[in-house]
Chain A
């Protein structure tokens, strides 16, 4: 099972898996691996959402005379 390249990729892959399952054409042999992959993808997606470190940085020294209204 390959790692998703990015979040969009993971969401696309997850949708693809669910559609394959819904098509009813997945051989029994493949069901388990699809199940495992979908769990991994969901974990990955939730982990991206749950990241909570400090996310805002202001590059204050970039322009020292910055100011102005609005």
Chain B
């Protein structure tokens, strides 16, 4: 009893003891105050009939919060105790928060998630890229479900050329994980494997979606050599299959939209590259003509020089070859191509702008096509569908050969 503490010293001791004793625990309580700070942190108070504890959820954890808690809600949190010496306060640091009453399932879910995470199954480096232009997609879903119809509708509308193989499976209730695993194995072993696999069903309660939290299914997804999109529609929860799949879509419709996204842009890209090609072609021809002109001036007295004749001949031959090639290629599709070209002239810049591109011009109104045309300090005018933005170049940077190829 003879030791005399300073405030800092006793607080340090309290901090060590409290934080050391409660590094990670579950807490079930009612929310009595709730405030989301502009910084993204959430400050709230948890209470029961006899006590309360000030609580905070830092932004990093708050970002992955899938529910919007309100005062009066009963919640189940996981977190730790933290002591803040400057104010002599202790508080609860919540890492997760969800509605109470899902206790047992939630604990099992968290335990499995932690186990698979520690094995590295959620490692982003494991995830395969979703192909931009899938030509054959397999779907595992209930044949009678709305989810399947939603997906087929998107494919039919936006990319009817994609082949779809539907592998029916129950997606809810005892044994459905087993069926989905069997179907995945069939797909992997198939003689005509797809480019992509969607595992999908519509929304439901945590209990409804429980089979998507099966450990066996998670391991099958992780082992699948074909990229997998997990598309389990739910507003509030992630399922284990979402974490382990190569991509998570919030709904089956969103999964199908991801598959057709690149395809939808193809006609525009083709039209645009066609007009770019013709622009470039005109410039090449123009430059050749200028080269020839300057050559003729320099050799004005030697009109019959072999070099000059060769240049003439070369240009004539090229013109003929180009005309022949063009005639040949265009003959059958003459009108069609003209129509396309006309469309490009009339629509392409607008369409391109509407798709999120901007046309950049320098101060003299010349279109900027390459970064190397610009230098720091130069003025730029960017045209958007609704107006113009004037700006100044800070810095330019060339891409490596690898990126531009």
Contact = CB atoms under 8 A, between A and B. Distances in A.
Q: Do A and B come from one complex?
A: yes
B273 interface: yes
Contact of B370 (A16, A22, A36, A68): A22
Interface residues of A, number: 43
A49 to B, nearest CB: 6
Q: Which of A16, A18, A26, A70 has the most CB of B within 10 A?
A: A70
B318 A28 contact: yes
Interface in B162-202: 162-173, 176, 179, 182-183, 186, 201-202
B15 to A, nearest CB: 50
B230 to A, nearest CB: 15
A10 B317 CA distance: 29
A1 interface: no
Interface in A36-64: 36, 38-39, 42, 45-46, 48-52, 55-60, 62-63
A7 B160 contact: no
**10 A-B pairs with the lowest CB-CB distances in the bound complex, closest first:** A68-B170, A21-B280, A66-B168, A70-B202, A58-B166, A70-B145, A7-B133, A56-B164, A70-B201, A51-B161
B166 A68 contact: no
A51 B263 CA distance: 13
A59 B167 CA distance: 6
A31 B276 contact: no
B302 interface: no
Contacts of A35: 277, 281, 322, 325-326
- Point out which of B145, B165, B273, B274 has the most chain A C-beta atoms below 10 A from its C-beta: B273
Contacts of B204: 70
Contact of B164 (A6, A14, A29, A57): A57
Contacts of B325: 32, 35-36
A60 B143 contact: yes
A57 to B, nearest CB: 6
B374 to A, nearest CB: 15
A50 B161 contact: yes
Contacts of B270: 14, 42, 45-46
B143 A66 contact: yes
A60 B274 contact: no
A69 B142 contact: yes
B329 A24 contact: no
A59 B155 CA distance: 18
A45 B172 contact: no
